[in-house]
Every structure is written in C-alpha cells, then in structure tokens.
Amino acid sequence: MVNELLCPAGSLEAVKVAIDNGADAVYCAGLKFGARSFIANLSDDDIIEASHYAHLYGRKIYITLNTLIFESEIEEVKSYIDFLYQYVDAIIVQDYGVVHYIRSHYPDFPVHLSTQTSIHNIEDVLFLKKLGISRVVLAREVSLKEIKLIQQAGIELEVFIHGALCFSYSGMCYLSYYKGGRSGNRGSCAQPCRQNYELLEDGNLIKSGPLLSMKDLNTIRNIEPLLSAGITSLKIEGRAKSLEYVTSVTRVYRKLIDDFNAGKKPVVSSELLDDLYTSFSRETTVGYLFEDSNKNVTTDYSVKHKGIHIGKVLSYKNNQVKIKLSKPLEILDGIRIVDGDKEVGTTVTRIIENGQLVKSSRGVVIVDIKGYVKEGSDVYKTQSGKLVKEVKNHKNACKTPAKLNILIKQGYQKLTVEIDDIVVSKSFNKSLEKAKTINEENVVSQFKKTNNLPISYDDVSYINRDNLFIPIPVINEMRRELLNELQETLENRKMRDYHEYPFKDGLFVNQKSLDDLELSYYQNHLINNGKLSISPLAFHLSEVGPHSHISPYFGVANSLAVSFFRNLTDGVIILSYESTLANSLELSRNDKNLGYLVDYKEPLMVAKHCVVAKAYGYEEKGCGMCNKHHYQLRDNDRIYDLSFHNCIMRIEGKNIKRPSIPELVNVTLK
C-alpha cells in the first residue's frame, strides 16, 4: 500500500487546497533557499499556519531548503532551520552542509535528500541510510525497474509521478547560470531548456526547435505498477502552478490511490481529467520512470498551457464567433482559438444558443471575442470558471475518526478524546444536581458537537454514575475547553523519527599537500546501479575513500559542507562551479586543502536524452553517430559543444581559465 500522496504548494492557499482535496503531505518553501524563488512561497507566519492546518487534519508538511548555500548565508540558514524545527515534519535538502547541520543538531528532524542531488543508485542510498537520512527523492531518470532494486536498501523513497521534467540531471545543470547568471542550483532557473536551439553536425545545421524541452511526466494511465511497487511517497511537481491545478491533480491521484487501496481497478472519470487538463496541460510522456523512448521524452512544439479541445469555429462576424462544441462550455470559462501559429483568447462572459442567453451548452453557440478568427480554427478551454469558483469556496469535509469518553460524577467530571496515539483529557469539578429524568441521547449528542474541528466521534462511552443533571451551558463549557486543548495538541504535533548521526567535525586532519592538481574527468559518472572504476575524483558518496578528491558536482560552497566531507576524506575538496572567488577564499581560511578550478571546460548539462538520435528519427539511442561527427548546439548568443559517453550527453560551454590563487589548490580538469 502506498503511504503518501505528496502534493505541491506555492502559497498558503495552495497548502490548504492540497490538503482539502486529499494530499497526505505537502511540500513548499519559505521566502528564501527554495528552488522556486520566483513564486510567492510562504512567510514564516504562513509556515506556522500551514503547519497547524496540516497537522490538524493529520497530514504532514515538508519545507524545501534545497539550494546551494554560500558561506555568507550560513548563519541565516541555521536560524531558519532552528525555526523550522518547531513546526514542520521534514526538510528537503540539496546542500550537504545543510544536511550536516540538521543531522548534527536535530537527530529527530527528518532530512529528505532532494532530487537536486541526483541520487540514482543503490550504493549511494545505502551510504545515505548510514547517515540517518530519512528519505531520498530519486533522480527523475531512474526507471521503475531500478527503483525496485534500490528499495532493497530499506529506506524511504520519493518518486516524481506527474509534472514538469528537467532536461538535465537535476543539480547538474548550469546552463541558466552560464547564460544569464540565474542559477538553478540557487533557486532562480530561467528555463533556457525551453528555448529554441540549432543542432549542428560538423558545422552544418541538421535540426532546429526546442531541442531540450521535455514533455511533462504523466503516469495517470500507468499508475498500477507504481502503486504495486509500494513506493513510500508519490510526488507531484507544480509549486508554480495555479490553485485549480493543485485541486484537480490532487483529486485525480487521490482517486486512483483510493481505488487501488480498496481493491478496485484505478479509474478516473472524464470529468476529473477534463478539470486537470483544463487547469494545465502540455504534451506528456511516461518518462524515464517507464522507460519511454528517447524520441518521445522531448517535444517539438510549444510548451505553453494548451487546455482541452472543445470545438471548431463555424464562422466569425463583428467580434462574435460561432462555435460547434464537442464538450461543455460555461460562463467564465477561458478559451483560446488557434489557427496555426495564430491564436486569440478570452474569458467567456455570455453564451448565446438559438438566440437565447444560456449559462452553459455543448451545442452550437455564439460568444464574444476581440480579434479575427478563421472558420475551421480549433477551440480550446484553458480555464474552468466552475472549478475556479469551487476552489474559492471549497471547505475540507474530511473527518478523522475519534473516540470520546464521558465520565460524570458528583464533584468530578472527565472528558477524554482519543485519536490514533493522541489522548487529550480535561477534568472538571462541577457541582451538579440529581436529575429527575435524563435523556441520555440528547446529552451525548450535545457532547459530540465538534465546533467545526475535523473529527467525528465514531465511538462514545458515557457514564453518569450519580444520575446527575448537566445543564446545556455546562456541557458547552466542558466541550469547548476539551476541544480547545485538542485543537492545540493536533496543530502542534509533528510526525518524526529519531536517527543517530555518525559524523563529528574534523575527523580528518588535512594539510595542503599540492600546489596544483590535474585530474582526468570521468564522463561516465552517471551509471545507474553500477560502480565506477576506482578514481581519484569521486562523483558518488559511496565512492569516497580516505584519500579521494571531491568532485565539484557535489556543490561544496560553505564550511558546513567542507566539514561534512572532512568526515570522509583528507583529499582535495574541489569547490562548486558556482563558488565565487570571494566565497572560495573565505572557505580557505579554515581548510588548506580546497580545490579551486582554474582550467576546465565549463559544464552546462548532463542529460540522459540524446538530441542527435532524435534528430535522425531513431526511437532509441546507441546509433553511434557521435563517433562519426562533431556535434554542437547553437542559440542566438553562443555555440555549445556536445560530448557523449555511453549515450550520456554533456553540453559544454567555453574553456575557462582563471588566475591561480595561492591560498587554494589550483585544479585543472581534463
């Protein structure tokens, strides 16, 4: 049985919408240090309220602190973690320095390792388990077959099942940073993978378009194998998307999971699917999760929200368009009318059918629109007015079963409520009179009122030993005090596990032993469920030995991360590609064996997809064309070299040469 449906929330409202519609847990970010810095996110007060709301309904809340952290930010990050510890159930983390701080200071605060760390093999997962990492969010390139192998590690696994995909292995993309200084690893990706590029073969153009643009992941029709695998957490992408999207996507997967857990075949109605694809839809793929073909994981078309097809234009005259509908259209729906690369959109404010104003129709209608449209143009619904209103007015109807015990004696009364492992009691010493007659059903009914708390008393024990009369105002007072304490208890509960942490600071004493370090660069460091040959340059945690050098792909950019790796090796820790000179010099004050890149080919992406094989129309990779020709990508500004090893594609920028820094080990990567 799947334990968790994990849904996105880019705002406090989205947290509540996700929970109201069946999310077992939500993930969101604060105002800093989250990988979606361009959306509203949650203030500290929002996080407190979101935590109380989630816990009131017995759900969990996770905060993403999944950016690389520079040394100047460390104290602020520590304070933020100290704050989060009071309220949330886990933190999703990329930076190993942040991991080190949390695990060292809060052994009962679960750490979920972000997909930004690109964990994709069982060796690394086993290593992380030894560190007490609670959960690993696997790389989106991992297949279900490989997930089943990794599950043998006996650790919680979180897997993306729906939403946008990155072209590069997450955490290994520097293209946005390279093109405009907006770092995906620091939360400000400009999504250059959605732009158009030209593919050059020996300098000649062979294909152009959005060559790096991934289709959206969608496993709705492939959900049973995922549910049967018993993956801990099924995760939906979309913190930047609308409340309507959060509502509809949560409902769809909640329905599928509930059907499966009830022993029924998971089925979603066409109405639920229409709501989902109206709120957001692009071309979809089952992704690497179900080993979709190389040809099918990227798109050749627009990545904008397209909506659902609802009809064709019959005619246009005087800012009015006649449409033959194939699906319902309602007042306040949003529509777009498309003719090739031309389109016009509007929000429908009136619908005319047979000369009469109507609120909805699926026949032949006339609607107002500004802008000429051609006969035969396609009509798409891009917003459901009904869903917008429903989201705005929706209230959570979920009730948690509870047991109520009522004990009434002269001079002593006690109310106790039990929910799972939570027990809340309230005692009173009211002086009560003997009852002439007692309507026990009415008394119990008064005590069972829950003041809108999301509980239902399915089991009630009522004992009135002295046959006492309890006035309604007294019942209300007793009930109110009990429910107030229960609400506070529920809102402040946290669902955590304690894990020991084996590391201490300074396990390895390091001395600067080299002035220059030249390393061969292994391009085949992304091999699922396999080990690399022994190398002085480690790309996986499980490879690191006492004298290994640490790859810049580990993203070391702060002293906490240095301390983490000093528990593993006395070798050169090569700082992140994004560590500035000032940041690197600051770190060198306390560690004399840090590597600073002075001569290297700038890495931009590491990808499982091959643009060359797709350009030639091959279903799969392995064509060997990369051994016969030199390939490059070109955009409006630059040309990027492509290199290949075992069908893993690397996009590379210019050769970087920086001046040597005496305080740091100078590293040349070849």
Relative to beta strand 90-93, strand 111-113 is parallel
Mode of pairing for the β-strands spanning 665-669 and 516-519:
parallel
pLDDT tens-digit profile of 296-343?
999 988 778 889 999 999 999 999 999 999 999 999 999 999 988 789
Residue type, 476: N
Reported as a pLDDT band with limits 50, 70 and 90, residue 530 is very low
Rounded CA separation 72/425 (Å): 48
Q: Which pLDDT score, from 0 to 100, does residue 509 have? A: 52
Local structure of residue 608 (DSSP, 8 states)? S
Per-residue confidence band for 510, with pLDDT thresholds at 50, 70 and 90 = low
How much is the pLDDT for 511? 53
Question: Position 429: which residue type?
Answer: N
What's the CA gap between 309 and 610, in Å, rounded? Answer: 32
Nearest to 156 by CA among 127, 135, 131: 135
Dihedral angle sign, alpha carbons of residues 80, 81, 87, 90:
positive
pLDDT value, residue 481: 96
Measure the CA–CA gap between 86 and 55, rounded to whole angstroms.
13
Report the distance separating Cα 620 and Cα 601, nearest Å: 28
pLDDT band at 476 (very low <50, low <70, confident <90, very high): very high
H-type helices in 131-262, by residue range? 144-150, 175-180, 223-229, 243-261
Residue 523 has pLDDT above 60, yes or no: no
* Per-residue model confidence (pLDDT) at position 215: 96
Q: What is the total residue count of the chain?
A: 670
Mean pLDDT of 220-244: 95
Cα 65 from Cα 101, distance rounded (Å):
13
Convert the pLDDT of each residue in 241-300 to its tens digit: 999 999 999 999 999 999 999 999 999 999 999 999 999 999 999 999 999 999 999 998
Strand positions, DSSP E, 465-515: 468-469
pLDDT in tens, 186-198: 888 989 999 999 9
Beta strands 549-550 and 537-538, pairing class: parallel
How far from chain centre, in Å, is Cα 370?
38
HSE-up (13 A, CA, CB side) for residue 219: 29
Rounded distance, CA 514 to CA 508, Å? 17
* Mean pLDDT value across the chain: 91
* Type of residue numbered 141: E
Identify the band that residue 496 occupies on the pLDDT scale cut at 50, 70 and 90: confident
Instruction: Measure the CA–CA gap between 392 and 388, rounded to whole angstroms.
Output: 6
Q: What value does the CA radius of gyration of the chain take, rounded to a whole number of Å? A: 29
In 3D space, the residue among 150, 296, 158 whose CA is nearest the CA of residue 218 turns out to be: 296
Domains and CATH numbers, the chain: 4-165+214-296 (3.20.20.70), 308-393 (2.40.30.10), 400-491 (no CATH), 516-669 (no CATH)
pTM score, two decimals?
0.93
The number of beta carbons lying within 10 Å of the beta carbon of residue 79 is 10
Residue 560 pLDDT greater than 60, yes or no: yes
Q: For 405-423, b where at least 16 C-beta lie within 10 A, e where not — what string? A: bbbbeeeebbbbbebeeee
Q: Give the pLDDT score at 524.
A: 43
Q: How far apart are CA 53 and CA 9, in angstroms?
A: 13
Could you tell me whether strands 204-209 and 197-201 are parallel, antiparallel, or unpaired per DSSP bridges?
A: antiparallel
Structure tokens given for 406: 């009522």
